[in-house]
Structure 1
Amino acid sequence: MKIEEKVRKKFEELINAGDQLKHGNQHGQVRSEGHQQECIGWLASVQNIVHLVVCNPDNPYRTSVDKICNTNRGYGVSQSVGEVTVILTSLLKDIYLGLLASIEAQTRASVFDNFLDHAKEYAKHKLKNEAGVIAGVVFEDTLRGICRNTGIEEKDKKLDFLITELVKAGTLTEVKAKRARVAAHVRTKATHAQWA
Protein backbone atom coordinates (compact mmCIF):
# COMPACT_ATOMS: atom_id res chain seq x y z
CA MET A 1 0.00 0.00 0.00
CA LYS A 2 1.41 3.38 -1.04
CA ILE A 3 1.88 6.09 1.57
CA GLU A 4 -0.91 8.17 0.00
CA GLU A 5 -3.35 5.28 0.42
CA LYS A 6 -2.26 4.72 4.03
CA VAL A 7 -2.83 8.38 4.85
CA ARG A 8 -6.26 8.42 3.20
CA LYS A 9 -7.18 5.26 5.09
CA LYS A 10 -6.02 6.86 8.36
CA PHE A 11 -8.09 9.98 7.59
CA GLU A 12 -11.17 7.83 6.98
CA GLU A 13 -10.58 5.90 10.22
CA LEU A 14 -10.22 9.14 12.18
CA ILE A 15 -13.35 10.61 10.62
CA ASN A 16 -15.36 7.46 11.46
CA ALA A 17 -14.02 7.44 15.02
CA GLY A 18 -14.69 11.18 15.34
CA ASP A 19 -18.29 10.68 14.25
CA GLN A 20 -18.70 8.28 17.21
CA LEU A 21 -16.70 10.27 19.79
CA LYS A 22 -18.33 13.65 19.11
CA HIS A 23 -21.57 12.59 20.79
CA GLY A 24 -21.67 13.65 24.43
CA ASN A 25 -24.38 13.35 27.03
CA GLN A 26 -27.58 15.42 27.17
CA HIS A 27 -25.56 18.36 28.56
CA GLY A 28 -23.02 18.34 25.72
CA GLN A 29 -20.33 16.87 27.94
CA VAL A 30 -18.32 13.66 27.74
CA ARG A 31 -20.17 10.53 28.82
CA SER A 32 -17.39 9.22 31.06
CA GLU A 33 -13.75 9.63 32.00
CA GLY A 34 -12.87 6.97 29.42
CA HIS A 35 -14.78 8.89 26.74
CA GLN A 36 -12.85 12.05 27.65
CA GLN A 37 -9.54 10.20 27.37
CA GLU A 38 -10.51 8.76 23.98
CA CYS A 39 -11.42 12.24 22.74
CA ILE A 40 -8.09 13.69 23.86
CA GLY A 41 -6.17 10.83 22.24
CA TRP A 42 -8.17 11.22 19.04
CA LEU A 43 -7.40 14.95 18.90
CA ALA A 44 -3.68 14.25 19.30
CA SER A 45 -3.79 11.68 16.51
CA VAL A 46 -5.60 14.12 14.21
CA GLN A 47 -3.14 16.89 14.99
CA ASN A 48 -0.27 14.53 14.18
CA ILE A 49 -1.63 13.52 10.77
CA VAL A 50 -2.58 17.09 9.87
CA HIS A 51 0.98 18.18 10.65
CA LEU A 52 2.30 15.36 8.45
CA VAL A 53 0.05 16.25 5.52
CA VAL A 54 0.05 20.05 5.82
CA CYS A 55 3.63 21.29 6.14
CA ASN A 56 2.80 24.99 5.98
CA PRO A 57 2.16 26.13 9.59
CA ASP A 58 0.00 29.02 8.30
CA ASN A 59 -2.36 26.78 6.30
CA PRO A 60 -5.97 27.36 7.47
CA TYR A 61 -6.61 23.65 8.00
CA ARG A 62 -3.57 23.33 10.22
CA THR A 63 -4.16 26.55 12.19
CA SER A 64 -7.83 25.66 12.76
CA VAL A 65 -7.02 22.15 13.97
CA ASP A 66 -4.20 23.44 16.18
CA LYS A 67 -6.41 26.11 17.74
CA ILE A 68 -9.14 23.61 18.59
CA CYS A 69 -6.77 20.85 19.75
CA ASN A 70 -4.73 23.19 21.92
CA THR A 71 -7.78 24.53 23.77
CA ASN A 72 -8.60 22.63 26.95
CA ARG A 73 -12.37 22.21 26.96
CA GLY A 74 -12.51 19.86 29.91
CA TYR A 75 -15.77 17.91 29.86
CA GLY A 76 -16.76 19.61 26.57
CA VAL A 77 -13.90 18.00 24.64
CA SER A 78 -16.36 15.94 22.59
CA GLN A 79 -17.50 19.21 20.98
CA SER A 80 -13.89 19.77 19.89
CA VAL A 81 -13.94 16.32 18.31
CA GLY A 82 -17.07 17.28 16.36
CA GLU A 83 -15.50 20.51 15.10
CA VAL A 84 -12.26 18.81 14.09
CA THR A 85 -14.14 15.96 12.38
CA VAL A 86 -15.78 18.48 10.04
CA ILE A 87 -12.40 20.10 9.29
CA LEU A 88 -10.80 16.70 8.70
CA THR A 89 -13.60 15.74 6.29
CA SER A 90 -13.05 18.95 4.29
CA LEU A 91 -9.29 18.40 4.26
CA LEU A 92 -9.73 14.86 2.96
CA LYS A 93 -11.95 16.17 0.15
CA ASP A 94 -9.23 18.66 -0.83
CA ILE A 95 -6.66 15.86 -0.80
CA TYR A 96 -8.88 13.74 -3.09
CA LEU A 97 -9.21 16.72 -5.43
CA GLY A 98 -5.42 17.11 -5.52
CA LEU A 99 -5.53 20.56 -3.95
CA LEU A 100 -2.73 19.76 -1.51
CA ALA A 101 0.75 18.58 -2.40
CA SER A 102 1.07 14.85 -1.94
CA ILE A 103 2.94 13.56 1.06
CA GLU A 104 5.27 11.71 -1.25
CA ALA A 105 6.05 14.94 -3.13
CA GLN A 106 6.56 16.87 0.11
CA THR A 107 8.92 14.22 1.45
CA ARG A 108 10.85 14.07 -1.81
CA ALA A 109 11.12 17.87 -1.90
CA SER A 110 12.46 17.94 1.66
CA VAL A 111 15.04 15.23 0.95
CA PHE A 112 16.12 16.87 -2.30
CA ASP A 113 16.41 20.22 -0.57
CA ASN A 114 18.87 18.58 1.82
CA PHE A 115 20.75 17.04 -1.13
CA LEU A 116 21.02 20.43 -2.80
CA ASP A 117 22.33 21.93 0.44
CA HIS A 118 25.03 19.24 0.44
CA ALA A 119 25.83 19.98 -3.20
CA LYS A 120 26.18 23.69 -2.39
CA GLU A 121 28.54 22.88 0.47
CA TYR A 122 30.65 20.65 -1.78
CA ALA A 123 30.79 23.38 -4.41
CA LYS A 124 31.74 25.95 -1.78
CA HIS A 125 34.68 23.73 -0.77
CA LYS A 126 35.78 23.36 -4.42
CA LEU A 127 34.50 19.78 -4.68
CA LYS A 128 32.75 20.38 -7.99
CA ASN A 129 32.67 16.72 -9.04
CA GLU A 130 30.84 15.62 -5.92
CA ALA A 131 28.52 18.63 -6.12
CA GLY A 132 27.76 17.81 -9.75
CA VAL A 133 26.84 14.20 -9.02
CA ILE A 134 24.46 15.12 -6.19
CA ALA A 135 22.82 17.99 -8.07
CA GLY A 136 22.53 15.75 -11.14
CA VAL A 137 20.65 13.08 -9.23
CA VAL A 138 18.20 15.68 -7.93
CA PHE A 139 17.79 17.11 -11.44
CA GLU A 140 17.09 13.75 -13.06
CA ASP A 141 14.62 12.60 -10.42
CA THR A 142 12.79 15.92 -10.58
CA LEU A 143 12.57 15.73 -14.37
CA ARG A 144 11.29 12.16 -14.21
CA GLY A 145 8.75 13.16 -11.55
CA ILE A 146 7.45 15.93 -13.81
CA CYS A 147 7.07 13.37 -16.58
CA ARG A 148 5.10 11.01 -14.32
CA ASN A 149 2.83 13.87 -13.22
CA THR A 150 2.31 14.86 -16.85
CA GLY A 151 1.48 11.30 -17.90
CA ILE A 152 4.69 10.75 -19.87
CA GLU A 153 6.17 7.25 -19.56
CA GLU A 154 9.71 7.83 -18.24
CA LYS A 155 10.94 4.38 -17.31
CA ASP A 156 14.09 3.38 -19.26
CA LYS A 157 13.95 6.59 -21.33
CA LYS A 158 16.89 8.95 -21.83
CA LEU A 159 16.67 12.47 -20.43
CA ASP A 160 16.90 14.13 -23.85
CA PHE A 161 13.86 12.15 -25.02
CA LEU A 162 11.94 13.11 -21.87
CA ILE A 163 12.79 16.78 -22.32
CA THR A 164 11.49 16.62 -25.90
CA GLU A 165 8.27 14.98 -24.68
CA LEU A 166 7.83 17.70 -22.04
CA VAL A 167 8.14 20.34 -24.77
CA LYS A 168 5.51 18.51 -26.86
CA ALA A 169 3.22 18.42 -23.81
CA GLY A 170 3.68 22.17 -23.31
CA THR A 171 5.26 21.68 -19.90
CA LEU A 172 8.63 23.12 -20.97
CA THR A 173 9.33 25.96 -23.39
CA GLU A 174 12.09 25.56 -25.97
CA VAL A 175 14.34 27.90 -23.96
CA LYS A 176 13.83 25.89 -20.77
CA ALA A 177 14.31 22.68 -22.74
CA LYS A 178 17.67 23.95 -24.00
CA ARG A 179 18.76 24.70 -20.44
CA ALA A 180 17.50 21.31 -19.29
CA ARG A 181 19.49 19.56 -22.04
CA VAL A 182 22.66 21.35 -20.93
CA ALA A 183 21.98 20.35 -17.33
CA ALA A 184 21.32 16.77 -18.44
CA HIS A 185 24.61 16.72 -20.35
CA VAL A 186 26.51 18.00 -17.29
CA ARG A 187 24.71 15.43 -15.12
CA THR A 188 25.69 12.61 -17.48
CA LYS A 189 29.34 13.72 -17.48
CA ALA A 190 29.40 13.93 -13.68
CA THR A 191 27.65 10.60 -13.20
CA HIS A 192 30.11 8.82 -15.49
CA ALA A 193 33.13 10.57 -13.95
CA GLN A 194 33.97 12.36 -17.20
CA TRP A 195 35.48 15.34 -15.45
CA ALA A 196 37.62 16.70 -18.28
Structure 2
Amino acid sequence: MVEERILKRFEEMLKLGDQVLATRRSPSPGHITSDFVDVQLANQWFASSLNLLVRVLSESSEHYKAMQRQYADYPKWPNAQQAYGILKAAHEDVQAGALFEIRSIVAAELFDDFLEQGKALLAAGYFAPAAVVVGSVLEDGLRKLCAKHSIALSDKPKLDGMNSALAKASIYNVLTQKKITALAGIRNDAAHGKWDTFSSADVESMMQWTADFMQKHFS
Protein backbone atom coordinates (compact mmCIF):
# COMPACT_ATOMS: atom_id res chain seq x y z
CA MET A 1 0.00 0.00 0.00
CA VAL A 2 1.01 3.63 -0.49
CA GLU A 3 1.14 4.37 3.25
CA GLU A 4 3.45 1.40 3.84
CA ARG A 5 5.75 2.57 1.04
CA ILE A 6 5.94 6.04 2.58
CA LEU A 7 6.84 4.65 6.01
CA LYS A 8 9.40 2.35 4.41
CA ARG A 9 10.94 5.35 2.65
CA PHE A 10 11.27 7.17 5.97
CA GLU A 11 13.08 4.14 7.38
CA GLU A 12 15.42 4.10 4.37
CA MET A 13 16.21 7.79 4.86
CA LEU A 14 16.93 7.26 8.55
CA LYS A 15 19.33 4.43 7.70
CA LEU A 16 21.07 6.67 5.16
CA GLY A 17 21.22 9.35 7.85
CA ASP A 18 22.98 6.86 10.13
CA GLN A 19 25.55 6.35 7.38
CA VAL A 20 26.04 10.11 7.05
CA LEU A 21 26.57 10.53 10.79
CA ALA A 22 29.02 7.63 10.78
CA THR A 23 31.32 9.61 8.44
CA ARG A 24 32.00 12.22 11.14
CA ARG A 25 35.59 13.39 11.25
CA SER A 26 37.40 16.20 13.02
CA PRO A 27 39.17 19.08 11.23
CA SER A 28 42.92 19.13 10.84
CA PRO A 29 44.93 20.51 13.77
CA GLY A 30 44.95 24.29 13.75
CA HIS A 31 41.62 24.63 11.95
CA ILE A 32 38.84 26.08 14.09
CA THR A 33 35.64 24.71 12.57
CA SER A 34 32.92 22.16 13.18
CA ASP A 35 33.39 18.46 12.60
CA PHE A 36 32.79 17.28 9.04
CA VAL A 37 30.70 14.58 7.39
CA ASP A 38 31.03 13.13 3.90
CA VAL A 39 29.68 15.98 1.76
CA GLN A 40 28.56 13.90 -1.23
CA LEU A 41 26.66 11.42 0.92
CA ALA A 42 25.21 14.20 3.06
CA ASN A 43 23.96 16.13 0.04
CA GLN A 44 22.33 12.98 -1.34
CA TRP A 45 20.64 12.37 1.99
CA PHE A 46 19.46 15.95 2.43
CA ALA A 47 18.02 16.14 -1.10
CA SER A 48 16.18 12.82 -0.80
CA SER A 49 14.89 13.62 2.69
CA LEU A 50 13.61 17.04 1.66
CA ASN A 51 11.88 15.48 -1.34
CA LEU A 52 10.19 12.97 0.96
CA LEU A 53 9.07 15.65 3.42
CA VAL A 54 7.68 17.98 0.77
CA ARG A 55 5.89 15.04 -0.89
CA VAL A 56 4.31 13.81 2.32
CA LEU A 57 3.97 16.93 4.46
CA SER A 58 4.22 19.89 2.00
CA GLU A 59 6.55 22.88 1.99
CA SER A 60 4.46 24.60 4.68
CA SER A 61 5.13 21.90 7.29
CA GLU A 62 7.40 22.72 10.22
CA HIS A 63 9.39 19.53 9.62
CA TYR A 64 10.21 20.56 6.05
CA LYS A 65 11.12 24.13 6.96
CA ALA A 66 13.34 22.99 9.83
CA MET A 67 15.14 20.48 7.59
CA GLN A 68 15.58 23.11 4.87
CA ARG A 69 17.34 25.42 7.33
CA GLN A 70 19.97 22.75 7.96
CA TYR A 71 20.67 22.17 4.27
CA ALA A 72 23.88 24.12 3.66
CA ASP A 73 26.06 24.18 0.53
CA TYR A 74 28.69 22.36 2.55
CA PRO A 75 26.81 20.47 5.29
CA LYS A 76 28.77 19.66 8.42
CA TRP A 77 28.25 17.44 11.43
CA PRO A 78 25.96 19.85 13.37
CA ASN A 79 23.71 20.24 10.29
CA ALA A 80 23.45 16.49 9.81
CA GLN A 81 22.84 15.85 13.50
CA GLN A 82 20.02 18.41 13.65
CA ALA A 83 18.50 17.19 10.38
CA TYR A 84 18.51 13.59 11.59
CA GLY A 85 16.47 14.58 14.64
CA ILE A 86 13.98 16.45 12.45
CA LEU A 87 13.55 13.48 10.12
CA LYS A 88 13.12 11.12 13.06
CA ALA A 89 10.43 13.38 14.56
CA ALA A 90 8.55 13.48 11.24
CA HIS A 91 8.72 9.69 10.99
CA GLU A 92 7.35 9.28 14.52
CA ASP A 93 4.51 11.73 13.87
CA VAL A 94 3.49 9.88 10.72
CA GLN A 95 3.66 6.52 12.51
CA ALA A 96 1.48 7.87 15.32
CA GLY A 97 -1.11 9.11 12.85
CA ALA A 98 -0.65 12.69 14.04
CA LEU A 99 -0.51 14.02 10.49
CA PHE A 100 -3.41 13.89 8.05
CA GLU A 101 -1.31 14.75 5.00
CA ILE A 102 -0.14 11.17 4.53
CA ARG A 103 -3.74 10.00 4.41
CA SER A 104 -4.52 12.65 1.81
CA ILE A 105 -1.69 11.38 -0.36
CA VAL A 106 -2.84 7.79 -0.02
CA ALA A 107 -6.39 8.82 -0.87
CA ALA A 108 -5.32 10.96 -3.82
CA GLU A 109 -3.16 8.23 -5.33
CA LEU A 110 -5.87 5.61 -4.95
CA PHE A 111 -8.45 7.96 -6.45
CA ASP A 112 -6.15 8.64 -9.39
CA ASP A 113 -5.62 4.91 -9.98
CA PHE A 114 -9.34 4.14 -10.02
CA LEU A 115 -10.22 7.19 -12.10
CA GLU A 116 -7.67 6.05 -14.67
CA GLN A 117 -9.42 2.67 -14.76
CA GLY A 118 -12.70 4.47 -15.33
CA LYS A 119 -11.21 6.52 -18.17
CA ALA A 120 -9.85 3.39 -19.82
CA LEU A 121 -13.24 1.67 -19.62
CA LEU A 122 -15.00 4.74 -21.01
CA ALA A 123 -12.50 5.07 -23.86
CA ALA A 124 -13.12 1.41 -24.76
CA GLY A 125 -16.87 2.04 -24.91
CA TYR A 126 -17.74 0.42 -21.58
CA PHE A 127 -19.49 3.43 -20.10
CA ALA A 128 -21.67 1.46 -17.65
CA PRO A 129 -18.74 -0.26 -15.87
CA ALA A 130 -16.95 3.10 -15.92
CA ALA A 131 -19.88 4.67 -14.07
CA VAL A 132 -19.71 1.95 -11.41
CA VAL A 133 -15.97 2.51 -10.90
CA VAL A 134 -16.29 6.30 -10.68
CA GLY A 135 -19.26 6.00 -8.34
CA SER A 136 -17.20 3.79 -6.06
CA VAL A 137 -14.41 6.38 -6.08
CA LEU A 138 -16.91 9.06 -5.06
CA GLU A 139 -18.37 6.93 -2.27
CA ASP A 140 -14.93 6.11 -0.89
CA GLY A 141 -14.04 9.79 -1.10
CA LEU A 142 -17.05 10.70 1.04
CA ARG A 143 -16.02 8.08 3.60
CA LYS A 144 -12.51 9.52 3.81
CA LEU A 145 -13.86 13.06 3.93
CA CYS A 146 -16.02 12.12 6.92
CA ALA A 147 -12.93 10.70 8.64
CA LYS A 148 -10.96 13.84 7.83
CA HIS A 149 -13.56 16.01 9.55
CA SER A 150 -14.21 13.59 12.44
CA ILE A 151 -17.80 12.87 11.39
CA ALA A 152 -19.02 9.71 13.12
CA LEU A 153 -20.20 6.91 10.84
CA SER A 154 -21.93 3.58 11.30
CA ASP A 155 -20.06 0.34 10.65
CA LYS A 156 -21.41 0.17 7.11
CA PRO A 157 -22.24 3.76 6.12
CA LYS A 158 -24.41 4.44 3.09
CA LEU A 159 -23.53 7.09 0.52
CA ASP A 160 -26.73 9.05 1.15
CA GLY A 161 -26.06 9.18 4.87
CA MET A 162 -22.47 10.36 4.43
CA ASN A 163 -23.56 12.92 1.86
CA SER A 164 -26.20 14.30 4.21
CA ALA A 165 -23.80 14.40 7.17
CA LEU A 166 -21.12 16.26 5.20
CA ALA A 167 -23.60 18.84 3.95
CA LYS A 168 -25.03 19.27 7.46
CA ALA A 169 -21.49 19.89 8.76
CA SER A 170 -21.06 22.56 6.03
CA ILE A 171 -18.15 20.69 4.42
CA TYR A 172 -19.91 21.51 1.17
CA ASN A 173 -23.19 23.18 0.20
CA VAL A 174 -26.63 21.84 -0.69
CA LEU A 175 -25.98 22.14 -4.42
CA THR A 176 -22.99 19.83 -4.09
CA GLN A 177 -25.08 17.46 -1.98
CA LYS A 178 -27.73 17.30 -4.72
CA LYS A 179 -25.08 16.76 -7.39
CA ILE A 180 -23.63 13.83 -5.46
CA THR A 181 -27.11 12.35 -5.08
CA ALA A 182 -27.60 12.58 -8.84
CA LEU A 183 -24.24 10.96 -9.58
CA ALA A 184 -24.99 8.19 -7.10
CA GLY A 185 -28.18 7.57 -9.07
CA ILE A 186 -26.17 7.06 -12.26
CA ARG A 187 -23.87 4.63 -10.44
CA ASN A 188 -26.84 2.67 -9.09
CA ASP A 189 -28.54 2.52 -12.49
CA ALA A 190 -25.29 1.27 -14.05
CA ALA A 191 -24.90 -1.39 -11.38
CA HIS A 192 -28.49 -2.62 -11.88
CA GLY A 193 -28.43 -2.75 -15.66
CA LYS A 194 -30.57 0.34 -16.28
CA TRP A 195 -28.23 1.54 -19.01
CA ASP A 196 -30.86 3.42 -20.99
CA THR A 197 -31.21 6.04 -18.24
CA PHE A 198 -27.80 7.63 -18.86
CA SER A 199 -25.29 8.12 -21.66
CA SER A 200 -21.56 7.94 -22.22
CA ALA A 201 -21.50 11.75 -22.04
CA ASP A 202 -23.15 11.60 -18.61
CA VAL A 203 -20.40 9.26 -17.38
CA GLU A 204 -17.69 11.47 -18.83
CA SER A 205 -19.18 14.48 -17.03
CA MET A 206 -19.49 12.38 -13.85
CA MET A 207 -15.83 11.44 -14.07
CA GLN A 208 -14.66 15.04 -14.51
CA TRP A 209 -16.83 16.33 -11.67
CA THR A 210 -15.60 13.58 -9.34
CA ALA A 211 -11.96 14.31 -10.21
CA ASP A 212 -12.50 18.02 -9.48
CA PHE A 213 -14.24 17.19 -6.20
CA MET A 214 -11.37 14.97 -5.06
CA GLN A 215 -8.81 17.57 -6.08
CA LYS A 216 -10.61 20.21 -4.04
CA HIS A 217 -10.91 18.17 -0.86
CA PHE A 218 -7.75 16.03 -0.95
CA SER A 219 -4.97 18.25 -2.31
Q: TM-score, normalised by structure 2?
A: 0.58
Q: How far 1:123 moved relative to its partner?
A: 2.3
Residues 1:22 and 1:171: Cα distance change in structure 2 (over 3 Å)? farther
Report the 3-state secondary structure (helix = DSSP H, G, I; strand = E; otherwise coil) of the residue aligned with 2:34: coil
Deviations 1:16-42 (A, max 9, x none): 969x76975364234xxxx749x93x7
Equivalent position of 1:183 in the other structure: 183
- With over 3 angstroms needed to count, the CA separation of the structure-2 counterparts of 1:106 and 1:24, relative to structure 1, is same
Partner residue, 1:68: 71
Find the residue that maps to 2:187 and give its secondary structure.
helix
Structure 2 gap segments, 5+ residues each: 28-32, 197-219
Distance 1:107 1:157, change over 3 A: closer
Task: Tell me which amino acid in the other structure corresponds to 1:113.
Answer: D
Match of 1:113 in 2: 112
The answer as to whether partners of 1:115 and 1:138 remain within 8 angstroms in 2 is: yes
1:133-165 deviations in Å (ceiling 9; x for gaps): 221121111011111122221531211111111
One-letter amino acid matched to 1:25? S
Q: Secondary structure at 2:83's aligned position in 1?
A: helix
- Where in structure 2 are the equivalents of 1:147-162 lying within 5 Å? 147-151=146-150, 152-162=152-162
Residues 137, 53 of structure 1: CA spacing in aligned structure 2 closer, same or farther, 3 A cutoff?
Answer: farther
* CA drift at 1:173: 1.3
1:97 CA drift (Å):
6.6
**Structure 1 pair 113–91 and aligned structure 2 pair: CA distance change class (3 A):** same
Structure 1 residues 118 and 155, CA gap change in structure 2 (3 angstroms): same
Q: Name the CA distance, whole Å, in 1 between partners of 2:34 and 2:45.
A: 22
Report the counterpart of residue 131 of structure 2 in structure 1.
132
Work out the CA distance in 1 between the residues paired with 2:194 and 2:43: 55
Q: Which whole-Å CA distance do the structure 2 matches of 1:6 and 1:80 have between them?
A: 23
- Give the corresponding residue for 1:142: 141
Q: Which residue of 2 aligns with 1:163?
A: 163
Amino acid at match of 2:131: G
1:29 equivalent in structure 2: 35
Kindly tell me: are residues 154 and 52 of structure 1, through their superposed partners in 2, closer, same or farther at Cα, counting changes over 3 Å?
farther
Cα distance in 2, alignment partners of residues 113 and 155 from structure 1? 26
Using the TM superposition, give the Cα deviation of residue 168 of structure 1 relative to its aligned residue in structure 2, in angstroms. 1.8
**Normalised by the size of structure 1, how large is the TM-score?**
0.63
Q: 2: distance between equivalents of 1:54 and 1:154?
A: 35
Preserved contact between residue 116 and residue 134 of structure 1 (Cα < 8 Å): yes
Q: Deviations over 1:152-192 (max 9, x none)?
A: 21531211111111122121211111111111222222234
The structure-2 alpha-carbon separation of the partners of 1:111 and 1:10, relative to structure 1 and needing over 3 Å to count, comes to same
Matches within 5 A, 1:10-25: 10=11, 25=26
The count of residues paired between Structure 1 and Structure 2 equals 180
